[in-house]
Amino acid sequence: MEADRRMWSVTARGLSDCVGELLKAGYGSTSVRELQLKLKKHGVYPAKDLWDLCSAELPDIFFTYDSSQNYVDIQQIVWQTLDFAAAALRKRRADVADEDLELLISDGVRIWVDFLFIDQGSRDIPEELKVLPQLLRNVDAHFVLGSTPLERAWCCYEIALFNQKCATDERLNLNSFIAPTKPYYNWDLVLSTEAEDKIYIEQQIRNTFPGGFEGFQNVMSQASSVALLSKTEGNVYYSPDSIENLGIAAEKWFDRMQ
């Protein structure tokens, strides 16, 4: 049976190696969207064609971003994010040696990015993305990059999936790390590259999301508040729960390496 590479992961070192191979193959430093179109044109599926740089293990961290972002830049942000996670571990485990932290950052954390693990040659991308609920239910941390993810349908859906416990319990805080970004206003203003994608996502929310569309709106209201605080206060805001949970997760990843 063919392995489901949509559920695979990659380390930071492996991601940089994959990006290096894509650049050497002539794909250039470009947006994720342009990269996806080129991969589709040439029948390239990185998780299959660069399988030796990836891992069949489930991911620890899921990255959400607008497809207008540069895939080379995303790879660099991943390294910065893992530095942040290592700092959270350091607060819990001051005894960890610097070289062990460096090894954790480069090789100890399993990452998921769509341009590696979603096959752009698939005839049915929404079908490919049916793994999102399972992926986001099982990862330990979720980072949202860029300035416009709250304006994009797939990004909003991914944020909602990771934080679905907040949908019906307003006492719970958002656990995603959201970069300073434009706020979410309402679903009618959210965009998708393919119009049918937004229709599909809305159906999934209404049929399967806790609390239906009202629950989804509860999550997005929190996400918008976090994004707005980060833009207006001058400092990036993350909930105390998300910081604590990242430290706990980083400790788990570190112990797994031992």
pLDDT tens-digit map of 144-185 = 999 999 999 999 999 999 999 999 998 888 999 998 888 999
Rounded Cα–Cα distance for residues 56 and 243 (Å): 28
Please give the C-alpha separations between residue 14 and each of 42, 59, 84, 177, in angstroms, as whole numbers.
22, 13, 19, 23
Phi then psi dihedrals of residue 50, to 5 deg:
-120, 40
For the segment 31-56, the average pLDDT, to the nearest whole number, is: 97
Q: What percent of the chain has pLDDT over 70?
A: 97
Task: State the residue range of the domain holding 67.
Answer: 5-257
Q: Judge whether 190 and 148 are in contact, CB under 8 Å.
A: no
% the chain with pLDDT above 90:
82
Dump the DSSP string for 19-87: HHHHHHTT--S-BHHHHHHHHHHHT--HHHHTGGGSBSSPPSEEEE--TTSBHHHHHHHHHHHHHHHHH
Band (10; pLDDT cuts 50, 70, 90): very high
* pLDDT tens, residue by residue, 83-125: 999 999 999 999 999 999 999 999 999 999 999 999 988 868 7
Note the Cα 64 to chain centre separation in Å. 3
Q: How many domains does the chain have?
A: 1
Q: How confident is the model at residue 1 (pLDDT cuts 50, 70, 90)?
A: low
Residue with the bigger pLDDT between 210 and 129: it is 210
